[in-house]
């Protein structure tokens, strides 16, 4: 994540007429060095291997010193020499799983490249797993056939874009799918039962209290209105809560300074015929289907979440200290403008209006800047993600975390509603990709690359991921990485998954 965390210049906060926020090393003073030691395994982290059928373990390798300092996804199967090449800012070699090794589930394509020097290591991380969920026994208390208590499998892809250090991204890549598995354990029976989910579960597991779920709602059901809850919304709720537990685990581990920084998280769960795309941050997922683009996420930034942030600052002014105002102004207010009228927006407005400038308006705005330069508290450019528990406003004790949300937006795509062809894909990319390309250009690349390969060639999706990464990185020319149109390519870490929706993968 390039330039997504900025420090505030201290006197900016307390005075007008000072220079605008400047880029600073992404390593914040409150965070440990970005050289990441492997995080300790959390006490509550499941200890048994999570990946059963596919055996794509996301656990960080601990066999060499190089890996201890800098880890890449194990599915890349990098040798120590390969790891050094992946860590080389000058060459920026594109990395993909080897053709000769085991393929990723669903013949998923993957490619990544390190940044051009903005941080020491690649702060993106990725995970691709097949996860088996063993149900807790007899959760609903109903007496069922033994066959219905079989476990469930879900397919899982995750992209994690770290900032201010790589620790949070690495930890999330190792553990988030385990938290999802944990949340799904109670649902194994329920999701495989065609009946609507029971609204209430008995307290004593294993002691059948009612013979079927329709009775579980109790006698109140005959007169009290009750909401119908779908299986789908239970999976959404499980993913949402898994993000929260992941974030809480990071909060606990930060005390030992095991987890530095924070990360955006974009994950996909395939379960029982549906794709659940959960996004917290500024990565992006799109489906390209028969040339049509279907957005599967939206970005969460100080601009897109301005009103949520301002409302929080308005309702909890103590979170702003005496340094910030929840109002937005189109530029910094100067002391000599006191009494004049300036344009502003508050938490209720999408438009602008003039207000008379008062003393409080000279404070630094909670939200300022535009596009990639937009910032919360002059510091961070994304508003959702995991970690960042130690993040503070520079030269201040004000924590920024209360304004950040760890909750993803989850969009659901039903794979059974459409007959997909091998060229239909779900593309996931960190902002390194999307900063220099757009949905239409990606769709054009999808068409161009896939049509050059046989439909049943499983390497076509990795070739596509590589083409997307290369197209965003560019080539070194004129003292920079440049695209064919001579514009600057992305100097950020770039990571891309290409998931075929109708390809040769097994969807069972």
Cβ proximity to a copy of itself: between 48 and 350 the closer is: 350
Residues contacting residue 101 through CB under 8 Å, at least 6 positions apart: 77
Could you say whether residue 150 binds a copy of itself (CB under 8 A)? no
Could you say whether residue 502 binds a copy of itself (CB under 8 A)? no
Could you say whether residue 339 binds a copy of itself (CB under 8 A)? yes
**What is the radius of gyration, based on Cα positions, of the chain?**
24
Could you say whether residue 195 binds a copy of itself (CB under 8 A)? no
Q: Shortest Cβ distance from residue 65 to a copy of itself (Å)?
A: 41
Q: Which of 163, 345, 401, 460 binds a copy of itself (CB under 8 A)?
A: 345
d(C-alpha 287, C-alpha 281), whole Å = 18
What angle separates helix 167-184 from helix 231-254, to the nearest 10 degrees? 140
**166-185: which residues touch a copy of itself (CB under 8 A)?**
183
Could you say whether residue 342 binds a copy of itself (CB under 8 A)? yes
Q: Shortest Cβ distance from residue 303 to a copy of itself (Å)?
A: 10
Could you say whether residue 335 binds a copy of itself (CB under 8 A)? no
Q: Of 193, 184, 177, which Cα lies nearest the Cα of 230?
A: 193
Q: In 20-32, which positions are buried (b, 16+ CB within 10 angstroms) versus exposed (e)?
A: ebeebebbbebbb
The DSSP output letter for 245 is H
d(C-alpha 35, C-alpha 41), whole Å = 18
- Chain CA centroid to CA 81, Å: 29
Stretch binding a copy of itself (CB under 8 A), from 14-22, 420-428, 434-442, 457-465: 14-22
Could you say whether residue 351 binds a copy of itself (CB under 8 A)? yes
d(C-alpha 122, C-alpha 114), whole Å = 5
Cβ proximity to a copy of itself: between 370 and 478 the closer is: 370
d(C-alpha 208, C-alpha 211), whole Å = 7
Q: Which of 225, 416, 419, 508 binds a copy of itself (CB under 8 A)?
A: 225
Asked if 243 and 196 count as a contact pair (C-beta separation under 8 A), the reply is no
Q: Of 234, 165, 224, which Cα lies nearest the Cα of 387?
A: 165
**296-315: which residues touch a copy of itself (CB under 8 A)?**
311-312, 315
Cβ proximity to a copy of itself: between 244 and 459 the closer is: 244
The total number of residues shown for the chain amounts to 508
Could you say whether residue 211 binds a copy of itself (CB under 8 A)? no
Q: Which of 3, 241, 304, 395 binds a copy of itself (CB under 8 A)?
A: 241
For 287, half-sphere exposure in the C-beta direction (CA atoms, 13 angstrom radius) is 21
The sign of the CA dihedral 298, 304, 309, 311 is: negative
Could you say whether residue 507 binds a copy of itself (CB under 8 A)? no
Stretch binding a copy of itself (CB under 8 A), from 100-108, 116-124, 159-167, 340-348: 340-348
**CA end-to-end span of the chain, whole Å?**
35
Q: Shortest Cβ distance from residue 368 to a copy of itself (Å)?
A: 8
Residues contacting residue 35 through CB under 8 Å, at least 6 positions apart: 69, 70, 120, 121
Q: Which of 199, 294, 415, 421 binds a copy of itself (CB under 8 A)?
A: 199
**376-435: which residues touch a copy of itself (CB under 8 A)?**
405, 407, 409-410
Residue 19 burial (10 A CB sphere; 0-12, 13-18, 19+): exposed
Could you say whether residue 235 binds a copy of itself (CB under 8 A)? yes
CA distances from 362 to 15, 76, 105, 282, 393 (A): 7, 51, 55, 30, 17
Could you say whether residue 331 binds a copy of itself (CB under 8 A)? yes
DSSP 436-497: T--HHHHHHHHHHHHTTS-TT-TTHHHHHHHHHHHHHH-EE-SSSEE-TTSSB---S-EEEE
Could you say whether residue 251 binds a copy of itself (CB under 8 A)? no
d(C-alpha 316, C-alpha 398), whole Å = 13
Stretch binding a copy of itself (CB under 8 A), from 115-123, 345-353, 440-448, 496-504: 345-353
Q: Which of 15, 20, 64, 486 binds a copy of itself (CB under 8 A)?
A: 20
Q: Shortest Cβ distance from residue 345 to a copy of itself (Å)?
A: 7
Q: Which of 236, 287, 386, 496 binds a copy of itself (CB under 8 A)?
A: 236
**437-496: which residues touch a copy of itself (CB under 8 A)?**
none
Asked if 417 and 398 count as a contact pair (C-beta separation under 8 A), the reply is no
Q: Shortest Cβ distance from residue 480 to a copy of itself (Å)?
A: 23
Stretch binding a copy of itself (CB under 8 A), from 84-92, 288-296, 365-373, 431-439: 365-373
Stretch binding a copy of itself (CB under 8 A), from 170-178, 214-222, 482-490, 493-501: 214-222
Neighbours of 224 (CB within 10 A): 9
Q: Shortest Cβ distance from residue 500 to a copy of itself (Å)?
A: 27
Could you say whether residue 197 binds a copy of itself (CB under 8 A)? yes
Stretch binding a copy of itself (CB under 8 A), from 84-92, 119-127, 212-220, 499-507: 212-220
Cβ proximity to a copy of itself: between 56 and 270 the closer is: 270
Could you say whether residue 220 binds a copy of itself (CB under 8 A)? yes
d(C-alpha 190, C-alpha 20), whole Å = 55
Which residues of the chain form contacts with a copy of itself (CB under 8 A)? 17, 19-20, 183, 186, 197, 199-203, 217-218, 220-221, 223-229, 232-241, 244, 311-312, 315-316, 329-332, 334, 337, 339-343, 345, 348-354, 356-357, 369-370, 373, 405, 407, 409-410
């Amino acid at each position: 994540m390039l330039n997504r965390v900025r420090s505030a210049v201290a006197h900016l906060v307390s005075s007008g007429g000072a220079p605008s926020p400047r880029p600073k090393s992404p390593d914040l003073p409150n965070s440990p060095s970005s050289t990441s030691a492997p995080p300790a395994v959390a006490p509550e982290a499941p200890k048994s291997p999570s990946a059963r059928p596919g055996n794509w373990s996301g656990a960080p390798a601990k066999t060499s010193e190089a890996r201890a300092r800098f880890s890449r996804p194990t599915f890349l199967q990098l040798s120590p020499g390969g790891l050094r090449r992946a860590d080389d800012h000058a060459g920026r070699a594109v990395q993909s799983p080897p053709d000769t090794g085991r393929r990723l589930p669903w013949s998923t394509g993957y490619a990544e490249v390190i940044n051009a020097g903005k941080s020491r290591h690649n702060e993106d991380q990725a995970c691709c797993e097949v996860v088996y969920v063993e149900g807790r026994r007899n959760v609903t208390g109903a007496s069922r056939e033994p066959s219905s208590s079989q476990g469930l499998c879900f397919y899982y892809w995750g992209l994690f874009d770290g900032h201010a250090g790589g620790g949070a991204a690495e930890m999330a890549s190792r553990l988030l799918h385990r938290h999802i598995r944990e949340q799904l354990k109670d649902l194994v029976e329920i999701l495989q039962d065609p009946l609507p989910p029971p609204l209430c579960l008995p307290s004593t597991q294993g002691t059948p209290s009612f013979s079927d779920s329709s009775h579980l709602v109790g006698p109140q059901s005959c007169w009290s209105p009750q909401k119908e809850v779908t299986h789908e919304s239970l999976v959404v709720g499980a993913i949402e809560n898994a993000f929260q537990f992941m974030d809480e685990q990071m909060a606990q581990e930060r005390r030992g300074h095991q987890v530095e920084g924070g990360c955006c998280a974009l994950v996909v769960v395939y379960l029982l015929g549906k794709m659940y795309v959960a996004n917290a941050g500024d990565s992006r997922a799109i489906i390209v289907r028969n040339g049509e683009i279907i957005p599967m996420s939206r970005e969460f930034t100080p601009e897109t979440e301005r009103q949520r942030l301002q409302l929080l600052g308005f309702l909890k002014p103590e979170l702003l200290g005496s340094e910030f105002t929840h109002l937005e102004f189109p530029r910094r207010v100067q002391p000599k403008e006191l009494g004049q009228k300036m344009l502003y927006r508050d938490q209720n407005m999408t438009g602008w209006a003039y207000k008379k400038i008062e003393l409080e308006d000279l404070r630094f705005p909670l939200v300022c800047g535009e596009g990639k330069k937009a910032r919360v508290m002059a510091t961070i450019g994304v508003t959702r993600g995991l970690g960042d528990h130690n993040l503070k406003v520079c030269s201040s004790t004000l924590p920024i975390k209360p304004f950040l949300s760890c909750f993803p937006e989850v969009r659901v795509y039903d794979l059974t509603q459409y007959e997909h062809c091998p060229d239909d894909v779900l593309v996931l990319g960190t902002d390194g990709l999307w900063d220099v390309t757009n949905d239409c250009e990606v769709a054009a690349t999808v068409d161009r690359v896939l049509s050059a390969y046989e439909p049943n060639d499983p390497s076509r999706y990795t070739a596509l991921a590589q083409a997307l990464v290369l197209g965003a990185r560019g080539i070194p020319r004129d003292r920079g990485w440049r695209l064919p149109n001579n514009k600057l390519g992305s100097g950020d870490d770039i990571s891309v998954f290409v998931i075929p929706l109708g390809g040769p993968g097994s969807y069972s």
